Structure 1
Amino acid sequence: MANKGTIFLDEIGDMAMPLQSRLLRVLQENEFERVGGTKSIRTELRVIAASNKPLEKEVAEGRFREDLFYRLDVFPILIPPLRERREDIMPLSRHFTSIFSKEMNKREPSISQDVEKILLNHEWKGNVRELKNVIERAIILCDEETLMPDHFNINRMAHDRIVLDAPLHEVAESAVRSAEKTRIENALKETHGNKSRAAEILKVSYKTLLNKIKEYGIS
């Protein structure tokens, strides 16, 4: 089916040696045999391969064929890990949020500032794939209009690092927001969800309470 088309081989650095030999033959001779077949089939295709391992090192250590490496290394494109291009994190996050919201027939939520800080400060050792999985899980858990830290399962140290590394005024702001959200949630529990009564207890207007509930994504 890939004849006269393009085939993408992901994580090619993990390919077993016997398969590397077969792939090399396809690239060199433009032919292959089907599994169990004896007739050679001609093919013309373009191969795009990706690897999260440095293939030069894999070649030097005998885990990747040198001849196959040079066959593939026609036009290399080096993509830095996500942690080295943090300007891409939020555009990708919004992209995945949109995709998964549509797939799950949910209204697309916004991303809170607290979540944005967590995403921007996380190490993302699993790169874009890890970010994609994290966003998908958050969309599954989110039934509100805004993605909040509670929807994420990123290591708690990510949030702690934000607070520890932040300027003093940001630490204070984070503490105030956390305390404010907790106080509102407790007031709503105390009044069994009666927002008018909760506003009286909190000594704020009904409109202010509604805005805070929306801001913090409190259900």
Structure 2
Amino acid sequence: MWRCCRRVARTFSPSLVSTGRFSPLGARRSLEFDLRIISSTTRPLQAIAVERMFRTDLFYLLTVVEILLPPLRQRTADIMELTRFFSDRLSQRMGTGVPAFSPAARRRFLSHDWPGNVMELRNTVERALIHGDFETALGTAATRIEIEDLAAVERRHVLAVLDACDGNRAEAARRLGVARKTIDRKCRSWGL
């Protein structure tokens, strides 16, 4: 994506988007067109534009609406919902049933880091449907839970509860049965 983006940035004329018109090679008049550009990057585009590694005029043309989507490992509340979504959709397409989702499989899915984000989750669900078992779908990558220390488990759980409460620390403290100051202190120590 980055190489493709750099190639487009070198040859792209911002006037195409701003005017909505272009002239085909050899034509005597310009043609009107409707264009919407949706792009994504894993690097902060503004910083790259400031470093002059990306055209600033193209950056300002592209940043009409910016949606920041954190990686799946920071959105643990979405994992089970996406798993259900992919299970339903893929099982219909493949003509298979959805295997039972055990508590052990749930723990494995929630504790996995998902470095491949949503595509890794989708492929893992497809693998589970093919093999008929969610518990072994992650293979050896899911054994991280056995060696995880208590602090990491605590952090993951507190962040999942905070995410479920839409960031409301008072509600998260109530659900966890701790004082609000405890949540504030832990978030501060985690740099949140």
TM-score normalised by the chain length of structure 1: 0.58
Deviation at 1:72, TM superposition (A): 1.1
Q: Does 1:107 align with 2:91?
A: no
Deviation at 1:128, TM superposition (A): 1.0
Letter of the 2:45 partner, please give it: L
What is the aligned partner in structure 2 of residue 158 from structure 1? 142
What is the aligned partner in structure 1 of residue 176 from structure 2? none
What is the aligned partner in structure 2 of residue 122 from structure 1? 112
What is the aligned partner in structure 2 of residue 132 from structure 1? 122
Equivalent residue for 1:31, pick from 12, 21, 26: 21
Q: Does 1:149 align with 2:149?
A: no
Deviation at 1:121, TM superposition (A): 0.9
Q: For residues 110 and 14 of structure 1, do their structure 2 counterparts lie closer, same or farther at Cα, with a shift above 3 Å needed?
A: farther
Q: For residues 164 and 152 of structure 1, do their structure 2 counterparts lie closer, same or farther at Cα, with a shift above 3 Å needed?
A: closer
Paired residues, number: 147
How far apart, CA to CA, are the structure 2 residues paired with 1:23 and 1:140?
Answer: 47
Deviation at 1:84, TM superposition (A): 0.8
Deviation at 1:54, TM superposition (A): 1.5
Deviation at 1:15, TM superposition (A): 2.9
Q: For residues 15 and 24 of structure 1, do their structure 2 counterparts lie closer, same or farther at Cα, with a shift above 3 Å needed?
A: farther
Kept after mapping to 2: 8 A contact 1:32/1:42:
yes
Deviation at 1:82, TM superposition (A): 0.8
**1:96-143: CA deviations, max 9, x gaps?**
11111111001122322222111111111221122112212222222x
- In structure 1, runs of 5+ residues without a counterpart are 1-10, 168-219
**1:141-195: CA deviations, max 9, x gaps?**
22xxxx3322334xx2532x2123377xxxxxxxxxxxxxxxxxxxxxxxxxxxx
Letter of the 2:119 partner, please give it: R
Kept after mapping to 1: 8 A contact 2:97/2:129:
no
Deviation at 1:87, TM superposition (A): 0.4
What is the aligned partner in structure 1 of residue 86 from structure 2? 96
Kept after mapping to 1: 8 A contact 2:73/2:114:
yes
- In structure 2, runs of 5+ residues without a counterpart are 151-192
Kept after mapping to 2: 8 A contact 1:17/1:65:
no
Cα RMSD, aligned residues only? 2.4
Deviation at 1:18, TM superposition (A): 4.3
Structure 1 segments of 4+ aligned residues over 6 angstroms from their partners: none
How far apart, CA to CA, are the structure 2 residues paired with 1:134 and 1:58?
Answer: 33
Kept after mapping to 2: 8 A contact 1:97/1:109:
no
How far apart, CA to CA, are the structure 2 residues paired with 1:141 and 1:123?
Answer: 22
Q: For residues 14 and 93 of structure 1, do their structure 2 counterparts lie closer, same or farther at Cα, with a shift above 3 Å needed?
A: farther
* Identity %, equivalent residues: 33
Q: Does 1:19 align with 2:8?
A: yes
Deviation at 1:16, TM superposition (A): 4.2
